[in-house]
Structure 1
Amino acid sequence: MPQSPPSLPAGARLSLNRCNLPAVILGGLTYQAHPVALEIDGIRAFHKDLFELLAPIDDARERAERFVDYIAAHFCLDDLEAAGLSPERVKKYRRNANYLRMVRGWSFDADGREGAVLKHWVETRFGLLARYHAGALDDSDGDAYHHYLAQGAKGLYATNALEAQLDLLYTYCQYELGRQHPNRTHLTLYRGINRIGEHDLFDDLEGVSTSPFNGHPRRVLLNNLNSFTSDRERACEFGDYILETRIPLPKVFFYNSLLPGMLKGEDEWVVIGGVYEVTISCL
């Protein structure tokens, strides 16, 4: 009998989230093959003025500029006193902790404070639990897990509706992907990794050869947030193994060219995790 597609393990998900599909569905392998749009509760409707503003604009760069202006005005990013933050009582880091700082911090160090904030955001919005943050998070009493919780709490403390900013960033990213790739459901992306044995594989490694792409798919449970690239040669710079997979567009959180100057990494795509079918090759 053929194997049924693996579901998202119970230990990798929450029972509740804030989007239109439960984690057990959006995190499973069936979703990778047959994705549907993911929407964070209420965000598109609450910010309908933004999307009405963007609708008649044909140039992607101009849309990006309008988005930056809108989010700055809506969250008072240039006038934090109007947002209720007191300059003399809040440290400079807290006052500058906006969506751009989070994504740039992720690009610099996915296991840093900003990375913890983003992984926590994925947990609350999509119900996918973080698997790794400067160490495996499979032990709720372990040092790595407590470090992750502490970094996430510190990163969110006394910020200006930071998670709501991230909600809008994701929603805008999905809007842009729909405008720029109206007939696509997936992107083929690559990720360079080391120590393949530390990843949650549903298959053993028999048959993984040193030759490029042996063609045998593997099923892997990825962290709840991951960096990929559209350039395979670029992925080779980050590990001895290359994962190639088809990423559903609704699982793209943001990418380097979404906004002007957003990320320095070339062709970086930040992807929401779950169970994926991948092809593994060795360098």
Structure 2
Amino acid sequence: MLQHQPQDLQPNQAKAGPSPPPSLPTNARLPINRCNLPAVILGGLTYQSHPVSLEIDGIRAFHQDLFQLLAPIDNARERAERFVDYMAAHFCLDDLEAAGLAAERVKKYRRNANYLRMVRGWSFDSDGREGAVLKHWVETRFGLLARYHGGPLDGADPDAYHLYLAQGAKGLYATNALEAQLDLLYTYCQYELVRQHPEETHLTLYRGINRIGEHDVFDDLEQRAPGKSAGFNGQPRRVLLNNLNSFTSNRERACEFGDYILETQVPLPKVFFFNGLLPGMLKGEDEWVVIGGVYEVGISCL
């Protein structure tokens, strides 16, 4: 559900108890990135309340011909079709030799390892090879470090982090400018969201989870009245999410994925892609893939 900035996220609203850190912790961010805001800002709580557009350096200008082509088209599906055609032509997705690959190496090339494969792979297993590629892309473009990939990436288990790096490297190997394809996919997604919802700032999205302990919760969930759940039942909490996450706009759908439901207001600039963006991209679920950071969420039990 799209909506304007909610009143319960106003930064000046008084809250009981000590104020948790609104900023992104240093161990969750890189000092540099490739977009117009540093990670400490775009990953912090203030950004959730007061979002501004995010732009990956140079992408919109470099592909200005695409957006000039899309400008006069009123139908969203037709724009999506033109985008898919542009991607195929610009990155030579159907003609590897035109992309500069020697004929004798075409058979060794990962022909289908393109932006569509990454999106579909994420929907099947966000902790797989495609998921590692996408999380690495978020790290380099937005400076937000991955927090989880098949296990916590907090340094306690070096093998988990090495596996994440290895999967990301394998996923990028023998591909044709795959990260540049993802840059343009994100930019096009933002173009469509602004065009379809020019007056909106946030989405109300839900995420089903089974274990609260897998998330960094800044508030003290143990401070509760006798007999009450640990700060749940929709009470706002500040949570550090993974650098890339799946949400849904359908609360009932979220219930299928866990015993607890996270409900939050997601700034539109933090939407990487969603299942209705391109024809046939994702089927069977109302999925929105969201860039992470610190969020204020409501946590409720089923």
Same fold (TM over 0.5): yes
Which of 132-141 and 155-164 deviates more?
132-141
Percent identity between matched residues is 87
* Letter in structure 2 aligned against 1:7: S
1:220-231 equivalent positions in 2, closer than 5 A? 220-231=239-250
Q: Please tell me the residue identity of whatever aligns with 1:118.
A: L
Shift of 1:147: 0.1
1:97 offset after TM fit, Å?
A: 0.4
Matches of residues 50-199 of structure 1 in structure 2 within 5 Å?
Answer: 50-86=66-102, 88-89=104-105, 94-139=110-155, 142-199=158-215
Residue matched to 1:257: 276
CA-CA distance at 1:271 after TM superposition: 0.2
Instruction: Tell me if the contact between 2:186 and 2:272 (Cα under 8 Å) persists in the aligned partners.
Output: yes
2:11 maps to none
Is it true that 1:45 corresponds to 2:61 in the alignment?
yes
Please give the alpha-carbon distance, in whole angstroms, between the structure 1 residues aligned to 2:116 and 2:180.
Answer: 13
Give the Cα–Cα distance (whole angstroms) in 1 for the partners of residues 257 and 234 of structure 2.
Answer: 21
Residue of structure 1 equivalent to 2:14: none
Q: Distance in 2 between matches of 1:71 and 1:188?
A: 30
The 4+ residue runs of structure 1 with deviation greater than 4 A are: 90-93, 207-211
Superposition CA RMSD, Å: 2.0
Q: Quote how far apart the aligned CAs of 1:202 are.
A: 0.2
Rounded to whole Å, the distance in 1 between the matches of 2:156 and 2:95 is: 39
2:259 to 211, 235, 240: 240
Deviation at 1:3, TM superposition (A): 2.3
- Once the two structures are overlaid, the 10-residue window that deviates more, 135-144 or 251-260, is 135-144
Q: Does the 8 Å CA contact 1:5/1:30 hold for their aligned counterparts?
A: no
- Counterpart of 1:164 in structure 2: which amino acid? A
Deviation at 1:86, TM superposition (A): 3.8
Quick one: distance in 2 between partners of 1:250 and 1:47?
19
Q: What TM-score, normalized to structure 2?
A: 0.89
Is 1:20 aligned with 2:36?
Answer: yes
Report the 3-state secondary structure (helix = DSSP H, G, I; strand = E; otherwise coil) of the residue aligned with 1:275: strand
Give the C-alpha shift of residue 250 in structure 1. Answer: 0.1
* Range 83-92 or range 253-262, more displaced: 83-92
Matching residue of 2:48: 32
Measure the CA separation in 1 of the matches of 2:109 and 2:117. 10
Query: How many Å separate the matches in 2 of 1:240 and 1:87?
Result: 52
Distance, in Å, in 2 between the alignment partners of 1:234 and 1:85 is 44
Quote the Cα distance in structure 1 between the aligned partners of 2:103 and 2:173.
Answer: 15
| SS of equivalent residue, structure 1 residue 174 | helix
Structure 1: tracts of 5 or more residues without a match: none
Does the 8 A contact of 2:96 with 2:106 survive in 1? no
Instruction: For structure 2, list consecutive stretches of 5 or more residues without a partner in the other structure.
Output: 1-16
